[in-house]
């Protein structure tokens, strides 16, 4: 009997990953290609290049294409049954942009099955290095956009967010101002997500509503480009961006390239790709009232919302699985890479040792609080490493076990305080659903449970963006609500229960953290 398979890809910051599920939602294949180690010729660290100014952060666009070549080759070698794939979808790190040169569309439409994708596309990007979400070099463009529409809150009311440096409209404005020739040579601008879809489609794929919400360019309620935002960023921008489509839209069938080179069925559908955080919401099967914490390269926290109230903190995106609804997102740039730095410095580079050391210092860390913003943070907009003792006095260092606990507690206190700013009620007994690379670490999740005073659940697979896209691919072929499609997915597993003895300790610590973060913050909201 013919199997029915659905594929979900994720073009994340550090790697390209894939998950295949069967019609019963069992994961039948999982694989990935890591940029730093599998493609060392691009000399990335953590998948990116940080430029000399320490603000500009890019990734070579063709590296993503080459990673796709490698991944498909790995699947072929593993005898993956491409012919059984009914539909595929995917996600990408949000906000990053890809600049297709005049003529690229023609190449996409006529890809030669005998050659890898990267060889055919390498000369067709007008900007070789894509700006990505870690970039914070566009403050001038942000101020201009906010001034043009009448202020930060008005921009948030239109697009769901005040101006953020990494948001694509501001990035495009910088490209236009600093590299006009390249801008003019650009036929089409994709997000990382719609770029991924374009590779499969063999044509330019539209930007979806959910990832499109992270650009400071889309009218959040009408789901069309906001003319005044477009005009404030660059001329002819609407034409270069194409139209916006619902996140569950089928954008077409896989191109002949995949049929001939890998044996995909010509009837395999390509469903809109979306942002990695919206995709994670799908993969976590988030319900109204749940809160999800993703611990990847960036840490993010998201909620399902019906009635959004865009504010000067956080972002509102169109909900990727229920397009009449919304999601709120908070993004923390200093996530896994900061934890890794402390692990390498204090715990001999071992996560096991890190977990042991976390247990050596007690919850609340005897009142010591650390704030570790190695790079310019997003929430709040500030940078620097700050350590405070129980008297709120600055200290220059902690001993190793205290440092290990301080980084984890500091990161989760920040999430708690900013979630409370969005209206989240600690003690509401809602579920915390954890995902991302660090959600494999039980010791870290125990601190999350204690600080949020809630049970933390995980699923077998930490890679919820990929899984969410495989679910979304299946959902797009039905008329039923998303929750119906994922009803029989494996139950979540309880990973950590809050210790009631820590409740008061963390209430006090959260209040102190809020005060200290305010003191060090240079955020101008
Ligand atoms: P992304 O999708 O953003 O590329 P992932 O969600 O795959 O990232 O997470 C990658 C990160 O997971 C790595 O940078 C690493 O620090 C972290 N990680 C992996 N295993 C563990 C672990 N056992 N404990 C804590 N962090 C871990
Ligand atoms: C979200 C954000 C990051 C990227 C990379 O706003 O900037 O989470 O999506 O994961």
pLDDT in tens, 428-446: 777 999 999 999 999 999 9
Distant-in-sequence, close-in-space partners of 486: CB < 8 Å, separation ≥ 6: 25, 285, 471, 475
**pLDDT in tens for each of the 525 residues of the chain?**
568 999 999 999 999 999 999 999 999 999 999 999 999 999 999 999 999 999 999 999 999 999 999 999 999 999 999 999 999 999 999 999 999 999 999 999 999 999 999 999 999 999 999 999 999 999 999 999 999 999 999 999 999 999 999 999 999 999 999 999 999 999 999 999 999 999 999 999 999 999 999 999 999 999 999 999 999 999 999 999 999 999 999 999 999 999 999 999 999 999 999 999 999 999 999 987 889 999 999 999 999 988 888 999 999 999 999 999 999 999 999 999 999 999 999 999 999 999 999 999 999 999 999 999 999 999 999 999 999 999 999 999 999 999 999 999 999 999 999 999 888 888 777 799 999 999 999 999 999 999 999 999 999 887 899 999 999 999 999 999 999 999 999 989 999 999 999 999 999 999 999 999 999 985 433
Ligand 1 atom nearest to 13, measured from its CA: 4
Distance 120 CA to ligand 1 centre (A): 32
Query: Could you tell me the distance, in angstroms and rounded to a whole number, from the CA of residue 367 to the centre of ligand 2?
Result: 31
Atom in ligand 2 nearest the alpha carbon of residue 378 = 7
Q: How far is the CA of 442 from the centre of ligand 1 (A)?
A: 13
Burial track 328-344 (b if 16+ CB lie within 10 A, e otherwise): bbbbbbbbbbbbbebbe
Residue nearest to atom 5 of ligand 2 (CA): 93
State in Å: Cα 458 to ligand 1 middle.
14
In the block, tokens 């942002």 appear at 275
Query: Residue 404 C-alpha to ligand 1 middle, in angstroms?
Result: 16
Residue 52 neighbours by CB under 8 Å, 6+ apart: none
Pocket of ligand 1 (CB under 6 A): 12-15, 296-297, 336, 339-340, 351, 436-438, 440-441, 444
For a mutational test of ligand 1's pocket, the pick from 34, 437, 459, 468, i.e. the residue with the most ligand atoms closer than 8 A to its C-beta, is: 437
Cα-to-centroid distance, 499 and ligand 1 (Å)? 25
pTM: 0.94
- For ligand 2, whether the C-beta of 298 sits within 6 Å is yes
CA distances from 387 to 358, 369, 373, 403, 410 (A): 17, 6, 11, 9, 10
Burial of 1 from C-beta contacts in 10 A (0-12 / 13-18 / 19+): exposed
Under DSSP, is residue 149 helix (H, G, I), strand (E, B) or coil? helix
Report which bound ligand comes closest to the CA of 444: 1
Which ligand 1 atom is nearest residue 17's CA? 2
Which one of the ligands is nearest to 316 CA? 2
In 23-123, at which residue ranges do the beta strands (DSSP E only) sit? 27-34, 49-50, 57-60, 85-92, 97-101
Ligand (nearest to CA of 171) = 2
Structural contact between residues 87 and 270, judged by C-beta atoms closer than 8 angstroms: yes
Q: How far is the CA of 387 from the centre of ligand 1 (A)?
A: 25
Angle 430-431-435 (CA atoms, 0-180°, nearest 5)? 145
DSSP conformation letters of 277-306 = HHHHHHHTT--TT-EEEEESSSEEEEEEES
Quick one: tokens of 22? 């069967």
Ligand 2, closest atom to CA 95? 7
- Does the Cβ of 133 fall within 6 Å of ligand 2? yes
Ligand 2 pocket, 474 CB below 6 A?
A: no
438, 463, 465, 468: residue to mutate for ligand 1 pocket, most atoms within 8 A of CB: 438
- All domains of the chain in start order, with CATH: 5-272 (3.30.420.40), 284-525 (3.30.420.40)
Q: What are residue 10's DSSP bridge partners?
A: 17, 91
Please state, in angstroms and as integers, the Cα–Cα distance from residue 399 to each residue in 351, 361, 387, following that order: 18, 10, 11
Q: Which ligand is nearest to the CA of 279?
A: 2
Show the DSSP H helices in 350-428 as ranges: 351-360, 400-421
Q: Tell me how far the alpha carbon of residue 14 lies from the centroid of ligand 1, in angstroms.
A: 9
Look at ligand 1, atom 12, and give the residue with the nearest C-alpha.
Answer: 437
Ligand 1 atom with least separation from CA of 294: 6
Q: Give distance in angstroms: CA of 380 to centre of ligand 2.
A: 15
The response to whether residue 430 sits with its C-beta less than 6 Å from ligand 2 reads: no
Measured from the Cα of 94, ligand 2's closest atom is: 9
For tokens 């073009």, the residue is 11
Q: Whose Cα sits closest to atom 27 in ligand 1?
A: 438
Q: How many angstroms separate the CA atoms of 290 and 302, rounded?
A: 9
The Cα–Cα gap between 335 and 481 comes to 33
């Amino acid at each position: 009997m013919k199997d029915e398979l659905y594929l979900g890809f994720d073009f994340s910051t550090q790697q390209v990953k894939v998950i295949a599920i069967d019609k019963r939602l069992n994961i039948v294949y999982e694989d990935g290609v890591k940029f730093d180690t599998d493609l060392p010729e691009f000399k990335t660290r953590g998948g990116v290049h940080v430029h000399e100014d320490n603000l500009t952060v890019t990734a070579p666009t063709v590296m993503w294409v080459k990673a796709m070549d490698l991944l498909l080759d790995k699947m072929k070698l593993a005898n993956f049954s491409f012919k059984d794939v009914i539909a595929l979808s995917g996600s990408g790190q949000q906000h990053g942009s890809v600049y297709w040169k005049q003529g690229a569309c023609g190449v996409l439409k006529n890809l030669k099955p005998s050659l890898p994708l990267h060889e055919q596309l390498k000369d067709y990007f007008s900007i070789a290095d894509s700006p990505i979400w870690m970039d914070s070099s566009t403050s001038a463009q942000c101020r201009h956009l906010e001034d043009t529409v009448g202020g930060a809150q008005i921009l948030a009311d239109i697009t769901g967010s005040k101006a953020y440096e990494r948001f694509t409209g501001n990035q495009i404005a910088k490209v236009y101002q600093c590299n006009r020739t390249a801008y003019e040579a650009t036929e089409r601008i994709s997000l990382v997500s719609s770029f991924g879809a374009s590779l499969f489609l063999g044509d330019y794929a539209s930007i979806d509503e959910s990832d499109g919400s992270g650009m400071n360019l889309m009218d959040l309620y009408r789901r069309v480009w906001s003319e005044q935002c477009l005009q404030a960023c660059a001329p002819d921008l609407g034409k270069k961006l194409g139209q916006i489509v619902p996140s569950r839209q089928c954008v077409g069938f896989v191109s002949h390239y995949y049929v001939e080179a890998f044996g995909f069925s010509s009837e395999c559908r390509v469903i809109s790709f979306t942002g990695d955080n919206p995709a994670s919401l799908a993969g976590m099967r988030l319900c109204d009232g749940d809160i999800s914490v993703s611990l990847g390269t960036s840490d993010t926290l998201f909620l399902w919302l019906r009635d959004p109230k865009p504010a000067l903190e956080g972002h509102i995106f169109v909900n990727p699985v229920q397009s009449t609804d919304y999601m709120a997102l908070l993004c923390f740039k200093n996530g896994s890479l900061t934890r890794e730095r402390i692990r390498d410095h204090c715990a001999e580079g071992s996560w096991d040792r890190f977990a042991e050391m976390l247990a050596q210092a007690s919850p609340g860390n005897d009142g010591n609080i650390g704030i570790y913003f190695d790079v310019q943070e997003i929430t709040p907009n500030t940078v620097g490493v700050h350590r405070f003792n129980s008297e709120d006095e600055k200290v220059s260092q902690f001993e190793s076990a205290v440092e290990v606990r301080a980084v984890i507690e500091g990161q989760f206190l920040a999430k708690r305080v900013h979630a409370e700013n969005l209206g989240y009620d600690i003690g509401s007994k809602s579920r915390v659903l954890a995902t991302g690379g660090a959600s494999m670490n039980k010791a870290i999740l125990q601190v999350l449970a204690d600080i949020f005073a809630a049970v933390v659940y995980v699923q077998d697979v930490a890679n919820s963006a990929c899984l969410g896209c495989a679910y979304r691919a299946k959902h797009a072929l039905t008329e039923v609500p998303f929750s119906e499609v994922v009803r029989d997915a494996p139950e979540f597993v309880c990973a950590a229960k809050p210790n009631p003895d820590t409740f008061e300790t963390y209430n006090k610590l959260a209040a102190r953290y809020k005060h200290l973060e305010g003191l060090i913050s240079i955020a101008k909201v």
